[in-house]
Amino acid sequence: MPVSAAAFNPTAAHDGYPRRFIAMMVFVLGTLAATAPLATDLYLPAFPNMAEALGSTEKHIQLTLTSMMVGLAIGQAVIGPLSDRFGRRVPLLIGMGAFTLTALACAVATTADQLIVIRFLQGLSGAAGMVISRAVIRDHFVGDDMTRFTAKMMFITMLAPMLGPIIGAQLIIVAPWPIVFVFMAIMAAMAMGLVWRYLPESLPAERRQAPSGREFALTLGRLVRDPRFIAPTLVVCLNFSMLFTYVSTFSFISQNEMGASAGMYSAVFGIGTLALLVGNQVNMVLIRRVESNGRMVLGLVVAMTGVAWIAGVQLLGVDNLVSVTIGIGVMMFGCGVIFPNAGAAAMSSQRPQVAGTASAFMGSLQMAAGGALPALATLGGVSLTNMTVGIVVYGLGTTTAVLATIRIYRKRPLAAV
């Protein structure tokens, strides 16, 4: 039986939300938001094994990741507005149920083409956890409060990409590659249980909107024209593209170019994700000391230092698993500072009544960029050189978007919203 909203009624504490409410929200929403990252990162160590078992190529297996990103983009565009109309819980439960079933379907796929299609469907359903978790946060918080809560939630969210490859590497030691998708299905089912039992509805019926197609198009048009929304959204998209160019290619690069084992790759991946997590937590500490613009600049400087390091070791001919990992760690730390500030700025600029649509639009753009831009960077093949070119280009794009965001928010701060 699900917990009623009254059990966690925010009005129960006049001076703010009860700690029990905050703790449970962080855990449940963090778990939901972690489902898609787990689905992308858990099977990365198995890429070479999958290519061999399915009689496919490295680029073909990489398309299973790209297809899921496309599914996540489209799914968020659909599910976000549905959550504005029907509430948060029902679309979330349906989405997580479908995600569980598609994970099991992946485990029985016999060709890479089948897997590409199923992963697309998995992305469509898995989008529910990502888009609705952001909308629920906006239902309750705004501004620095939203940034603070997001940073707490991301502590859990980032454990998935950090632990995913490590768990995946151990799973493929004891069983063939389909075991990672069985494990994925179990984790998704557990997340669905948490939603059913502990997540109350955060959008009451009287606050829901049922926009027509024309009204939906008008809302999207307004979001695109709103610089306070679109500028930080571009920061999120380009920063994610920089990060995901590394994520989607480094399994092959580390194991095929640098001679790393699946276990070594998962350890390196864990280091990068730990740096992302530490950056996120440092950002949370800085909230009371440094304004949002300053925090984004700090994250940008650190991230671009890491990008410059990766490019530099290649130019100097001293690129190896250790030297490249150092640069990746620095870059990921900076990304961890940028993400929560840019995302909170974009969402805080919008009214709660359109939070689902705004979250969907931002998430769709993010996933579309994360699926298309890394693939574009490796059109010439999956190699360290192509990966580096990609993160340099997208890093420069992030720099431009951050500077534009700062300029816009200095002219029209959130206090004026």
Residue 66 CB neighbour total at 10 angstroms: 20
- CA 199/CA 106 separation, integer angstroms: 28
Contact 52, 181 (CB under 8 A): no
Q: What are phi and psi of 203, to 5 degrees?
A: -120, 95
Burial 161-191 (b: 16+ CB within 10 A, else e): bbbbbbbbbebbeeeebbbbbbbbbebbbeb
Residue 357, domain member (yes or no): yes
Residue 417, domain member (yes or no): no
Residue 35, domain member (yes or no): yes
CATH of residue 305: 1.20.1250.20
- CA 406/CA 412 separation, integer angstroms: 10
The angle at the Cα of 262, spanning 261 to 264, to the nearest 5 degrees, equals 65
The angle at the Cα of 146, spanning 144 to 151, to the nearest 5 degrees, equals 95
Q: Which domain holds residue 395?
A: 5-412
Helix crossing, 292-315 with 262-286: angle to 10°? 150
pLDDT score, position 2? 46
- Helix, strand, coil: what percent of the chain each, to 5? 85, 0, 15
Looking at the 3D structure of the chain, how many domains does it have?
1
Residue 26, domain member (yes or no): yes
pLDDT score, position 211? 62
Residue 303, domain member (yes or no): yes
Residue 167, domain member (yes or no): yes
Residue 295, domain member (yes or no): yes
Helix crossing, 321-348 with 262-286: angle to 10°? 40
> Residue type at 115?
L
Give the total residue count for the chain: 417
Residue 406 CB neighbour total at 10 angstroms: 20
> Residue type at 305?
T
Per-residue pLDDT tens digits of the chain, which is 417 residues long: 444 444 444 343 323 667 787 888 888 888 888 888 788 878 888 888 888 888 888 778 888 988 988 888 888 888 888 887 888 888 999 999 999 999 999 999 999 999 999 999 999 998 888 888 878 887 877 777 777 787 777 777 777 767 788 888 889 889 999 999 999 999 899 989 988 888 888 777 777 776 666 777 888 888 889 999 999 999 999 999 998 899 878 878 888 888 888 778 878 888 888 898 899 889 888 988 888 889 999 999 999 999 999 999 999 999 999 999 999 999 999 999 998 899 888 888 887 767 777 877 887 888 788 778 887 877 777 789 999 999 999 999 999 999 999 999 888 776 544
